[in-house]
Amino acid sequence: MRIKDSVVLITGASEGLGAACAHEFRRRGARLVLTARNAENLERVGAGEDCVIAGDITVDRHREQLIAAGLGRFGRIDILINNAAHGLYAPGSSSPPELVRAMFELNYMAAVDLTARVAPGMRERGTGAIVNISSIAGRMTLPWFTHYSASKAALEAFTRGLRMELGPHGVHVMSVAPGYLKTNFQDHVSGGTPPASIRGGRRFATTAERCAGDIARGVEAGKRSVVSPGVAGWALLAMNRALPGLTEAILARLNGKLDKQ
């Protein structure tokens, strides 16, 4: 799909991958609709004729206002990037239900609602793209991140269904599975603290800018799925598919070590 002159809505755009996507898609000639809760950071990311609407996308009224503002400014939304998310470091068997529900509202339900609001226009025009930012954790469960993995697995299933539903109508649907990114994601989890060994794994992380470039190229090429970083990410997922028992044993052993930290 052509990015130049397209209208792109990006959630969670005030920092990290969302901000990197804003810069990358703007560089490629897109017009942007940006949202996030942090109004000050969002204003710094926005530029030129961008439509910048600060607010909480878990609130129905804000989602309504966001779409209305984008349509009012540009007349259409061509690409939706469902990026906003947060994590929860807590055991799956004893996570506070209210934190799990709040995470699903952001990581999954907000994306479902925004998609429902923009998809009819895309179908009518016979073109458009929906990009759901999932995670490596959405394709293989991380035991110290069980409910986050579950929320992203739900987003993966939603993406596959959308692709079959909307693809015949000219709408491109793409899943993105980043691994560790050099962002402040771990500082914004809703509960728990990432274990030292997991935080230390960030030395193997890629940058948000590189991932944003992978996303933009994926949109232009019409890819079904993007994994970033590609080689390491696909290798890990291939091992999980080929040897799921071994992968689970390794992760369980690592999780046992984390419990002792």
Answer for the pair 191, 89: CB distance below 8 angstroms, yes or no.
Answer: yes
**The pLDDT of residue 150 is above 90:** yes
Q: Taking the model in full, what pTM does it have? A: 0.89
Q: Which residues are catalytic?
A: 148
CATH for 28: 3.40.50.720
DSSP assignment of 104-128 equals: HIIIIIHHHHHHHHHHHHHHHHT-E
Residue 1 lies in a domain: no
Q: How many domains does the chain have?
A: 1
Residue 32 lies in a domain: yes
What was the pLDDT predicted at 228?
Answer: 86
| Tens-digit pLDDT profile for residues 116-145 | 999 999 999 999 999 999 998 898 888 888
- Report long-range pairs for 246-254 (Cβ below 8 Å, ≥24 apart): 247/140, 251/141, 251/142, 251/143, 252/143, 254/143, 254/197
Average pLDDT, the chain: 89
Residue 101 lies in a domain: yes
| Tens-digit pLDDT profile for residues 79-88 | 999 999 999 9
Residue 253 lies in a domain: yes
198: containing domain: 7-259
Residue 61 lies in a domain: yes
| Tens-digit pLDDT profile for residues 24-43 | 999 999 999 999 999 999 99
